[in-house]
């Protein structure tokens, strides 16, 4: 489990550090008359990384169901590390002109392609390795890894910016170049992994592994894929507003010092990330559906008040109390929701089913969520506008949660992986 946690932390540090540097990337790679327009361009490229995630999910999901979980988890980690390090070495628009944003976009797409297999692979692997009555606890580990990756990225950007190095000259490169040693450590940890007993078992059965896992998944489990996508939107839509877009909003709209914003966000994330395994254990003990209902309902209500409150304060420090309350929602609900995804699919197509659904939801909720939020502020001028996006996403999750109980997911049953489905 340690290799899964550390690998997901590093993967999502590498994937999200770009978002925290969007304000810096704006003028460096997308020269424009307006700083807002430049930031929107940078956020659009951030979202473009998510465009590649469904393709990565399809490719790596199929490979994971045919070749095993371990080799895919190794491949995604290496690909993310290399593409992140190369972003840190890119020349800017001032040096090579339009080729700079093109290369940035290509590397961001490569990052997204890699991320498309990472989280789904980690969820699948820990679910298959978990004791039957602790699957939500184990399923909270990859979700916690994503949260730690976000907070590490925020604190790293804040640390580099606080040293006095020129962030707009070469300082922005440091958070990306740090990916080289981090990736090396994680590769060493994951190299020791063995495939799950469940996957090994199907390689010895008459049916064996699926030859066409994508086609089999879409033919036999289309509604399950859509349900995974909708629940992912419900959890990640509000979450990305608080974990990523809010930092851009505080710097770009509120004009708060970037270093202070990133430090405070990182500390707030650190103060709430421990809730992931706690709620995972609670979900195993008391049932997932009631906890998911409470969390998603809170996610419908809180986003607009958060941004209205942010608009009223005069310092970044004053944002922290409201932000802490808001950030509790994702760890409260995510273990209950995400742990159920692998349970929707049989072992032979599990990696594929989770990958497709998870990445379809992620591209909508997280990929273009920050750009949509920024556009809502720019077009309406209303401070609470970004919160509307988070509330709509959470409502989609509630609708999916209210769907028919056709499957074991979120029902907290002991027998969860039934190959006869």
Interacting residues of 233 by C-beta distance below 8 A, sequence separation 6+: 361, 364, 365, 393, 396, 397
Say what the pLDDT of residue 168 is.
75
Q: What pTM was estimated for this model as a whole?
A: 0.85
Residue with tokens 């066409």: 212
Say what the pLDDT of residue 297 is.
95
Q: Which residue has the higher pLDDT, 378 or 320?
A: 320
Which run of H or of E encompasses 325? helix 320-327
Give CA–CA dist 64/199, Å, rounded: 10
Interacting residues of 57 by C-beta distance below 8 A, sequence separation 6+: 116, 117, 120, 355, 356, 358, 359
List the chain domain ranges. Answer: 1-194+214-419
Give CA–CA dist 315/300, Å, rounded: 26
DSSP string, 398-417: HHHHTS---SSTTS--S---
Q: Over 50: is that where the pLDDT of 324 sits? A: yes
Neighbour-count burial for 111-120, b at 16+ CB within 10 Å, e otherwise: bbbbbbbbbb
Say what the pLDDT of residue 49 is.
79
- Mean residue pLDDT of the chain comes to 85
Is-contact 80 114, C-beta < 8 A?
yes
Two structure tokens written together for 421: 């489905």
Say what the pLDDT of residue 417 is.
44
Average pLDDT over residues 202-216: 84
Quick one: CATH architecture of 1-194+214-419? Answer: Up-down Bundle (1.20)
Give CA–CA dist 377/249, Å, rounded: 9
pLDDT in tens, 330-342: 888 888 898 889 9
Element counts in the chain: helices (H) and strands (E)? 23, 0
Two structure tokens written together for 228: 């995974």
Give CA–CA dist 287/387, Å, rounded: 29
Residue with tokens 């506008």: 385
Say what the pLDDT of residue 415 is.
37
Two structure tokens written together for 23: 């304000």
CA atoms within 13 A on the CB side of 235: 27
Is-contact 386 311, C-beta < 8 A?
no
Say what the pLDDT of residue 4 is.
65
Q: Over 80: is that where the pLDDT of 152 sits? A: yes
| Backbone Cα Rg of the chain | 20
Q: How far apart are the first and last CA of the chain?
A: 28
Q: Which residue has the higher pLDDT, 419 or 343?
A: 343
């Amino acid at each position: 489990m340690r290799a899964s946690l550390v690998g997901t932390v590093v993967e999502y540090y590498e994937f999200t550090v770009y978002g925290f540097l969007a304000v810096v990337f704006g003028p460096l790679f997308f020269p424009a008359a307006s700083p807002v327009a430049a930031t929107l361009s940078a956020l659009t490229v951030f979202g473009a990384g998510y465009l590649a995630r469904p393709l990565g999910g399809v490719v790596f999901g199929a490979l994971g169901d045919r070749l095993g979980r371990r080799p895919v988890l190794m491949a995604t980690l290496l690909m993310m590390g290399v593409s992140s390090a190369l972003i840190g070495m890119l020349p800017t628009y001032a040096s090579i002109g339009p080729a700079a944003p093109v290369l940035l976009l290509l590397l961001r797409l490569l990052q997204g392609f890699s991320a498309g297999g990472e989280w789904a692979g980690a969820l699948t692997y820990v679910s298959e390795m978990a004791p039957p009555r602790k699957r939500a606890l184990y399923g909270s580990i990859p979700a916690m890894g994503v949260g730690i990756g976000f907070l590490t990225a925020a604190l790293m950007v804040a640390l580099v910016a606080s040293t006095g190095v020129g962030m707009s000259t070469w300082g922005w490169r440091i958070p990306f170049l740090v990916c080289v040693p981090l990736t090396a450590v994680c590769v060493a940890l994951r190299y020791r992994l063995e495939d799950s007993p469940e996957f090994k078992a199907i390689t010895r059965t008459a049916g064996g592994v699926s030859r066409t896992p994508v086609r089999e998944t879409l033919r036999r489990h289309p509604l399950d894929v859509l349900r995974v996508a909708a629940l992912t939107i419900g959890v990640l839509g509000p979450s990305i507003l608080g974990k990523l877009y809010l930092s851009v909003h505080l710097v770009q709209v509120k004009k708060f010092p970037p270093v202070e914003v990133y430090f405070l966000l990182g500390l707030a994330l650190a103060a709430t990330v421990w809730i992931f395994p706690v709620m995972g254990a609670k979900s195993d003990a008391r049932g997932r559906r009631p906890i998911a209902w409470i969390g998603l309902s809170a996610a419908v209500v809180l986003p607009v008040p958060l941004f209205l409150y942010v608009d009223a304060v005069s310092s970044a420090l004053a944002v922290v109390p409201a932000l802490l309350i808001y950030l509790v929602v994702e760890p409260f609900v995510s273990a209950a929701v995400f742990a159920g995804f692998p349970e929707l699919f049989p072992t032979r197509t599990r990696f594929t089913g989770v990958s497709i659904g998870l990445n379809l939801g992620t591209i909508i909720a997280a990929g273009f969520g920050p750009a949509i939020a920024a556009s809502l502020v720019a077009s309406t001028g209303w401070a609470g506008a970004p919160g509307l996006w988070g509330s709509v996403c959470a409502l989609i999750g509630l609708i999916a949660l209210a769907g028919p109980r056709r499957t074991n997911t979120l029902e907290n049953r002991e027998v969860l992986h039934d190959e006869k489905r």
